[in-house]
Every structure is written in C-alpha cells, then in structure tokens.
Structure 1
C-alpha cells in the first residue's frame, strides 16, 4: 500500500492525498473482510491436486523436501507447496494470505503504469476495479488448495514489472532495481507453479527485445550498459531460481530437473503414444484403447502396463494413469529407473513407426505434451477460445458462494492443520448460491442448513458478506461487456491515429502536440 500512497498522492494536496489513500485502504480492508467469509472446499482428487500440494507442503515444513519419491513427486510445480509451507510458519489463514498476495499485485500494477497515467483518481479507480474482480474470489478457484490463484497473482506481478520497465525506459526515466528483481522472482514463481506458464514467456521476451532496441536507437553510451544489465537481470534471477529448485531435486532424488513433465524420455514416450493413428478418433481422448492395443502388439515395454490400463481416458488424465501404471509395474523406484523405462518405450514405439508396424498421423510433430494436430480440433479450439473470452468478459459462472467438501476425514484434518482455514463440511453449501436454490427458498437468496457444518454457529453476517460479493459479481457481469466494447473501440482509434501520425511524419508534415 506504500506504493499506492505514493502514486495516488502525486501532485495532490496533502489533505487530498491522505483522503484518497485512506479511502483506498478502507476499500482494501473491506474487500479482505468480505472474502474472509468464504469457507474452504476440500477435494482429494486421488491426490493429484489439493492433497498433493498439502502433502508436499507438510514434507517441506518438516525439512523432507517433497517426501519419498514416487510417480507424483515431481509432476507439479514446487512453488505453491513452498508458499503453503511458508504461510504455515507465518500462521495466517491460507485463503487470506493468497488474497493479500493479490492485493500486493494490484498495487504494484498501478504503480507500474503511474508514469503513463498521470491522474491519481484514474489510478485509484483502476486499482478498485482490479481489487473487486470477481475472478479473484470465485469459489471455483479461490476456496480450494490449488495453485491457480497464486499463479495468477505471480503472473500479474511479472507482467506489471515488465510494463513498468518498458514505460520508464520509453519515458527516459531511470529504472529502479526493485522492478527487475521483483519481475525475476515473480516470473520464476509463476513458472515454478504451473507447467503451462510458458505462455507468458513470449510477452516478456518481446518486451525485453523492444526495450533493448530503444536503448540501441537512442545511442546513450553512458546509460546503455546499465540499462541492458537491468533488462537482463530478471532472466538471470529466473534462471537462478530454476537452477536452485533443480539442484534441490538433484540432491534429494538424483535428477537435475524442475518438473518430470519436461523430462525428455517421458515426453518422447508420451508423444509417441499420442501420434498412433488407428483411423478413428474420440473427442478429448489423446490415446484411445485401439491405439493402446496396437502399441501392446509392437512394444514389450508398453505390454507390461496392459493390466493397469483400461477404458477411454479423456484429457490429460491419461498422463496420470500412465504414470500410475508405470509405478505399478515397478519402475518408479527412482527417477533413473523411470527415465530408463520411458526411453525403452519411446525407442520401441518409434522403431515400430519406422518399420511401418504403427501408422502415424500425417505431418505429426512432437510438441511436448501436446497431441498431434488434427483437423477435428479446429472447431472445438475455436469454441473453447470464444468460451474463454466470453468468460473473462462476462464473468459467467463466477460465484463466491462456498461449496461443500468431499467426505474424507483424514484429509479435512490435514487441510485445517496446514492452512489454518476451516473447511465446509455440509452435505449442501452452508450459504447457497441463489442461482442454485429451489423456488421455495425464502429470504435474500441465502439459506442456512442444519448439517454437520463447522459454521453452524456463524452469524448471519457471514452470509451477508458473501451476498455482497455476489452483488459485486452481478455488477461486473453487467458493466464489463460494455467496458470491453469501449476498450476495443478506443484501441482501434488509437492504433489508427498512431498510423496516421507516423505517415504524416514520413511525409514531412509537422504534427502539433496533443
């Protein structure tokens, strides 16, 4: 909030400065108070998400790194378990700490654009709009022990810091060391949280290249070395953080890698399975049963897994089933043993392709965990893209109302011990989403159930707080589509104006400022 105080107080009288800061501080505390009414939803999911993060965090907290090695030890990013373990030592509720990280990211993003947006009132409005974004308190993503929320905050921090460096360089201002350091750390945090965080890399690289081009074109010999060093520093910090995690894995398990989904032999084996063409495809199924039957016939290594694989597995769930099958076959005693098995499997399958024993999809290219592109993917990809855009514009299906936990008492105890949050144990939500209530429900859309809930003695104020968050969600659902349309029009107008200005300069026409 100190950043925000400095930004919003710039060029303002002292009284106005204090009043603006006080208002933002009150709104921030109000936002945190509202979201603190949400309850945690505990989902075991066979130890692939919530429980896996918690188990890793427990091991880290007890000094055992990620625990004993098995097929699930190195398949998830390590940053979120580190975050949970650190939060456990701090002693704050996990859901609150995650919201505090988001508040910090919002403040940094406003600070980043301060030289570009001079009006402190506009900056304050932008901060409030960021702060009450319904995607940051929807129960689907924020009331579970999953990494998406922290990854989003780290990504916002990285992009904001990169924007801050670019804006200050473009405005011919010095770049403080805090921006590249924070960018490097937050970029590493996002990268080490999710395996698919590579999508942010092109943006950061492109902006860095543009900054370097600006330095070269301006030919400031004295400042160029320092500026180039500042621009390169985030990537050095990012590399150091990755090397540190890989080194810890090497010390604990004998493999210098941050994540086994990036292990070459595993990727080669998985991509070979994914490009088996049987003449028939099933939507959302990368490796069909028919493809597995053909692989069994040509690969003795894969045939060992036949007793442990069955049915048609949709989506990326097959990767988990594959790793579980390899573990059941006895190959996950160590990373070296697992890697050797996947190398043998990939060699046998690729040899079968070369001999014509297996048919490959035409023009297929191995791209990590991505299956070969097929023409049938075009329409679903477009539909999914449009659905994602629609979700981010309309906040469709966002709801702050908590959902009940799955019944697994041992897991509930672990959740509450590690996170200092109380889990919702009702068979139905204690505070129910108005859109899901039966028509006979009275009141203002909030009901209280008489179930085995730990919140039975909670005051009605808790439900009212969640109701207020729901009202904010409804407000965003109405306003944001209009604001998005206006933003697109403004962007088009500014782009056309920039093009016309450049053409006039090329023709020797002097364009007056403003």
Structure 2
C-alpha cells in the first residue's frame, strides 16, 4: 500500500510539471480535434449499391431487429460481418457512427505509439508518433474515411493488429501483466480484423511468424546467454516456469479466438440458414465451383488474347456439357448474356461473372433455401471434378495465387508490376487522396433509415437521382481542413522518406556492429523485414486481382490498397525510431523525466 501511494505521488508530481502540463494539453487538443473531424466529416453512401454500401446497412438493420443477417439470398452470406457489427455497436451505445469511428482511430493510434514505449522513453517523441498515425491521410480520404463502407475500418484495424504484435514483441521477456494486456488486445482485434473483408489472409504470415518468434523467445528467456549455436546446451538445462507457460498460452490465444469466432459464425448461420458456412461466395460449394471454372481450358486462345476474362461463355458451355445439374439452369445462364444488366452478349471481365452466376441461379429458384442451394452447387462441383478426372475437361496452364482468384501467364506479369507501382505511389505518397465532394445516393425512405441507424444526417450531400442537379456538392469546412492536413503530409513525404532511409541504414549497421544495443537493433530489423514481406504479399495480391481491368488501374489501386498504408507507416516509424537509438541522440531525448 505504501509503495502504491509513493508511485501515485510520483506520477502526480510529474504531471504537475509545466512541461508535462503543456504536453498533456497538446495531446488533448490533438485528440479532440481529430474526434471533431471524424464526427463532422461529410459521410456519404450509395444505397443503390446492393452488394456494397446497401448490403452492410441491411445487415446492420436486420441484426438490430434480431433477424441476424435477414432472409437468405445471394447477398446474405456474401461478405464479412465486422463492419455491420461496428455500426450496430455505435447504434446500441447511442453514439453517432462518426464519433465511434473517431474513437476507433484514436485507440489505434494510441496503441501504436504506446507499443514503442520500450524503445522511445521520450514523451514528446511518442506524441509525435501518435499524431503521425492519428492524422494519417488514408484515414482522412473519402474511400477510407467518409464512405459508409467497410474500408473505413481496415486502416485502424491493421494499425491495431501490428501495434499489438509489436507491443507484445518488445515485452516478450518482461513482466507478465503487460504481456497479458498486449496479448488480450491482439486476441480481440485479430478476429475482428479478419472478418472486415474476405482478403485478410495477407496479414496471417506476419501473425504466425511474429507470435512464433515471441513464443521461442519466451521458451528460452531463462537462458540470457541463449544463441542458436548453443541450442543443444540450452535444451539440456531447459526448464519451464508458470509465467512462461501462461505466456505461451497467450501466444496461441489470438488463433484460438479466430477459430472460436469462426465456429460461432458457422453455428449462427447453421441455425438461421441451415448451412455451416461463414461465407457462401468464396467458401462452400460455390467457392469450389468458382475454382473449377476459373481453371478450365475452354479450348480457345482467350487466356492468351484477353486476360480480362476469368470465365468465358465457352467455359460455361463446356461446364454445362459435363454437368447435368448446371445444364438444368442453362436458360438462366443464357440470360446473363442476353437480357441481364451484367452483359450485352460479350464475355464478362473479372470476378463479376460469379455475381452474375449467382443471380442466374436465383432466377432458377435457388438462393431461397440455403441447404438446397448448397446441395445444388455441391453436385455441380462433383460433376465438374469427375469431368476433370476422366479428361473431358482440361485445366489452363496458368499461375494461381488463390483458390478463387484468376490465373496469370508470364506475359501478364509486367502488367501486375505496373499495378504494383501504382499502388506503391498511393501508399507512400498519398497520391490523389482527399475528401468532400461525394454524393449520397438512394431512395429517400432508405436514406432516412440509414440516418436513424448511423445517427447521422445526409441532408448536405443527398441528391435525388430523379431530379436534375445544377450544382456539384461543395466541400464542407471539415473536408477542407482534412484536405489541408493531407496536403501537409504529401509535401513533407520526400523529406520524411530521407529520414526513414537514414533510420533503416542505422538499424542495419546497428544489427551488425552494435554491442550494447545488438538485441534491440536486431529485433527492430526482424520486425521491419516481416512488415516489408507482408506489404509485398499484400501489394502483389491486390495487383494480381485488379489487373483484369487495366483501364481502371488508378481507381482500383486507390480503392483497394488502403490497408497497405498503415504497414508502410509502421515501417517508416520504426525506421525513425532507429535514428533515435543513436547514443548521441538517445542521451539527449531520453533524459530522466523527459
């Protein structure tokens, strides 16, 4: 008790210092201002986008009514659940959507800064890092801030996942309580991040390797002289403590929570729809059929001449020839090309064919009963598999990254490289980021329901599509302020990159030659290497997927690469922290009571 009183008195004494009060005031102002930017941001939505904006609003409304995701249809199990849960939480807490989104960004930035506390013992530097993350241009630009769509959660979620992992790494051999706190944080945010989008897989290798390294360090933390070359000697004197065992369990907890969350979602969907699936578009029988169709050689040279087309009309005709079950909806598949909004008779580019195919099945009477629909696609999958085995169908000779993604030929790889360069420019230089001139679209009654759900008014930017518009939407004051902040980042980025390059060089040299700080520099280098590889995986994956539409390269790479920005910013911040580790600088900034 006496020690607690002493610690409390010491903390209060530090807070009362003028420098501490000034810093506290700055942090409060920065935080409140960011919350105001989020609360008053010009949010917009398109409630005619049935598979995007409208879908998540629908999910949320149904959950609030106690109907889970609503009646079964092609949309019911087509996308992740996290974003709609976020909107439901905001509504239940009687907070506006903008307020809760602002709080989420503030929490993510705070966790990211605090994660580096073992490396940076200067509160002013930590405040700078906090501010750098908090006002990130990607979290202020339309697609990732003001559109009522799941992308708004991707940036803070990725920031939190990496922040918790970094925080856990630098506390791996310390006291148990901090280790537990960071592990619990990672356990909560990882499943939430996973179910924001269907392409969350790219961050999994970083999680697996990162937690494996942390677990390995925990196992041998009783041997301070441990090195890989002395592994045999260390194993001979190896022993476990209760603290180590708890830490190792906590390293597994994020994965156990993800598995448990998946099981819960499967159980809920089984109860409501009769199928134990989380997503019936990329998973289940339809996902398997998609894989079969993508890989099918249709007997033409279309994959050589037109890489935009994932599944051609000829492929579907060949599939119908060997699958009596698919043949049963042949007239509906024909409707896709002659009468539907999906095509005017031409082959359909990209993954759009799969949405069209689901609509065709709906016309044939499916997607009303989930069990019946799953059984239909399962039978189609079985018949296609048999046709491949007996040689009636052959596979294209292409390179594939994912089960339901398109394949590429060698000639397509330069185009993927062009997309990667474009994505890199958006992520590093915040190219074309901005907000404030987007319209809200949708029937008035649907807009009113969305306003009630989100506790936000769209009156400033709603436009009736049935009435001719004479003037564009003007940016609000909040939008103009956000755009000024984005401009500051854009102009300072070249100088910032030079600093970060110096920091990377210092970390590399320190990891080779430093004596006192060798462990720290190598730890930073290990994290940087993991982040760079993760970003490369992410950028290749997005570019691979998007390259079916070269004419929309800039649009797609701006829309789909936002999750890469927090990874890049983490790399930059760690490089900056590397500069702060130089003894001549560290001595000045890490003074006692700084």
TM-score, scaled relative to structure 1: 0.84
1:54 maps to 2:57? yes
Residue number in structure 1 paired with 2:70: 67
Take 1:356 and 1:336, find their aligned partners in 2: how far apart are those partners? 30
Residue number in structure 1 paired with 2:351: 316
Whether contact under 8 Å (2:91, 2:454) holds in the other structure is yes
Count how many residue pairs are aligned between Structure 1 and Structure 2: 472
- Per the TM alignment, residue 12 of structure 1 is displaced from its structure 2 partner at its CA by 5.2
Q: Which runs of 5 or more residues in structure 1 are unaligned?
A: 1-5, 429-448, 456-461, 506-512
Residue number in structure 2 paired with 1:44: 47
Residue number in structure 1 paired with 2:248: 228
Larger mean Cα displacement after TM superposition, 80-89 or 205-214: 80-89
> Aligned-pair RMSD on alpha carbons?
2.8
User: What does residue range 293-308 of structure 1 map to in structure 2 within 5 Å?
Assistant: 293-303=317-327, 304=329, 305-308=332-335
State the secondary structure of the residue aligned to 1:175.
helix
1:33-54 alpha-carbon deviations (Å, 9 max, x no partner):
2343432222135410111111
Residue number in structure 2 paired with 1:510: none
State the secondary structure of the residue aligned to 1:358.
coil
User: What does residue range 174-253 of structure 1 map to in structure 2 within 5 Å?
Assistant: 175-219=178-222, 221-222=240-241, 223-253=243-273
- CA 1:485–1:300: 2 relative to 1, 3 Å: farther
Take 2:398 and 2:427, find their aligned partners in 1: how far apart are those partners? 34
State the secondary structure of the residue aligned to 1:291.
helix
Partner of residue 83 from structure 2, selected from 61, 80, 83: 80
State the secondary structure of the residue aligned to 2:178.
coil
1:464-490 alpha-carbon deviations (Å, 9 max, x no partner):
332221111111111123312431342
1:280 maps to 2:302? yes
User: What does residue range 56-455 of structure 1 map to in structure 2 within 5 Å?
Assistant: 56-170=59-173, 175-219=178-222, 221-222=240-241, 223-277=243-297, 278-281=300-303, 282-303=306-327, 304=329, 305-310=332-337, 311-362=346-397, 367-423=402-458, 424-425=460-461
Take 1:11 and 1:168, find their aligned partners in 2: how far apart are those partners? 27
Whether contact under 8 Å (1:393, 1:481) holds in the other structure is no
1:370-414 alpha-carbon deviations (Å, 9 max, x no partner):
223322331122122221111011111111213112253233222
- Per the TM alignment, residue 172 of structure 1 is displaced from its structure 2 partner at its CA by 6.6
Take 1:10 and 1:101, find their aligned partners in 2: how far apart are those partners? 28
Whether contact under 8 Å (1:398, 1:473) holds in the other structure is yes
State the secondary structure of the residue aligned to 2:395.
coil
Take 1:36 and 1:402, find their aligned partners in 2: how far apart are those partners? 17
Whether contact under 8 Å (1:108, 1:160) holds in the other structure is yes
State the secondary structure of the residue aligned to 2:103.
helix
Take 2:429 and 2:257, find their aligned partners in 1: how far apart are those partners? 37
TM-score, scaled relative to structure 2: 0.74
Divergent runs of 4+, >4 A? 9-13, 170-174, 363-366, 449-453
State the secondary structure of the residue aligned to 1:290.
helix
- Per the TM alignment, residue 144 of structure 1 is displaced from its structure 2 partner at its CA by 1.9
State the secondary structure of the residue aligned to 1:261.
coil
- Per the TM alignment, residue 331 of structure 1 is displaced from its structure 2 partner at its CA by 2.3
Take 1:494 and 1:161, find their aligned partners in 2: how far apart are those partners? 22
State the secondary structure of the residue aligned to 1:47.
coil
Take 1:29 and 1:13, find their aligned partners in 2: how far apart are those partners? 20
Whether contact under 8 Å (1:39, 1:422) holds in the other structure is no
- Per the TM alignment, residue 427 of structure 1 is displaced from its structure 2 partner at its CA by 5.4
Whether contact under 8 Å (1:51, 1:411) holds in the other structure is no
- Per the TM alignment, residue 27 of structure 1 is displaced from its structure 2 partner at its CA by 1.2
Take 2:462 and 2:285, find their aligned partners in 1: how far apart are those partners? 45
State the secondary structure of the residue aligned to 2:302.
coil
- CA 1:452–1:201: 2 relative to 1, 3 Å: closer
Residue number in structure 2 paired with 1:474: 487
Whether contact under 8 Å (1:76, 1:195) holds in the other structure is yes
- CA 1:243–1:408: 2 relative to 1, 3 Å: same
- Per the TM alignment, residue 276 of structure 1 is displaced from its structure 2 partner at its CA by 1.8
State the secondary structure of the residue aligned to 2:278.
coil
State the secondary structure of the residue aligned to 1:399.
coil
State the secondary structure of the residue aligned to 2:119.
coil
Q: Which runs of 5 or more residues in structure 2 are unaligned?
A: 1-7, 223-238, 338-345, 519-581, 584-594
Take 1:294 and 1:46, find their aligned partners in 2: how far apart are those partners? 32
Larger mean Cα displacement after TM superposition, 190-199 or 409-418: 409-418
1:258-280 alpha-carbon deviations (Å, 9 max, x no partner):
22235342222101110122321
Larger mean Cα displacement after TM superposition, 359-368 or 202-211: 359-368
Take 1:244 and 1:264, find their aligned partners in 2: how far apart are those partners? 17
Take 1:274 and 1:236, find their aligned partners in 2: how far apart are those partners? 33
Partner of residue 497 from structure 1, selected from 485, 492, 510: 510
1:180-230 alpha-carbon deviations (Å, 9 max, x no partner):
222111111011221111111111111110011112222362232122122
- CA 1:133–1:331: 2 relative to 1, 3 Å: same
